[in-house]
Amino acid sequence: MSQKVISFHYTLTNPAGEVLDSSAGREPLAFLTGSEQIIPGLEKQLVGMNKGDKQTVKVPAAEAYGEHNPEMVGDVERSRFPADVSVGQMYATDPQGLSAIKVVAVTDTTVTVDGNHPLAGQELTFAVEITDLRDATAEEVAHGHVHDGHHHH
Ligand code: ZN
């Protein structure tokens, strides 16, 4: 199947109905299909839609940020953390801040941290509107990303 560029607005909510992210007030999000730029469970449903379609899409955890993995929860010596460590804090685990651990429990001697993605184990709901849909250009396919016309590297 030829690759497409799909642009869409979205509002992401968790099972409690809290808004986690939204493109409202920003440019629509544009992505190249088949290049793992958005979560697989969302892409799978967007590719079947047409320009102008509005839909509420539910994505199970396994097709979003994965199930919660208990093996990624573990205890670390408290001395390795700042003195004011507390439940709910996030710490980057790489210099770019691309992955992080969350403090889930603190005792006098240990800190329990959870390295799962914050959205792991959650079914996500996306209210989406397709604002544009077109065939990807050969150059976009070769580069593996969308050229939005504003700039190029
Ligand atoms: Zn490029």
Q: How much is the pLDDT for 146?
A: 93
Cα of 146 from ligand 1 centre, angstroms: 7
Amino acid at 138: A
Q: Which two tokens stand for residue 4?
A: 């497409």
- pLDDT tens, residue by residue, 3-43: 999 999 999 999 999 999 999 999 999 999 999 999 999 99
Q: Which two tokens stand for residue 133?
A: 């849909």
Q: Which of 38, 10, 32, 13 is nearest to 23 (CA)?
A: 10
Cα of 141 from ligand 1 centre, angstroms: 9
Amino acid at 44: K
pLDDT bucket at 1, cuts 50 / 70 / 90: low
> 141 in helix, strand or coil?
helix
Residues with CB under 5 A from ligand 1 (ion): 143
Note if the pTM is more than 0.85: no
**pLDDT greater at residue 51 or residue 153:** 51
Cα of 147 from ligand 1 centre, angstroms: 6
Q: How much is the pLDDT for 150?
A: 60
Cα of 143 from ligand 1 centre, angstroms: 5
Alpha-carbon 100 to chain mean position: 14
pLDDT at 98 over 80: no
pLDDT bucket at 94, cuts 50 / 70 / 90: confident
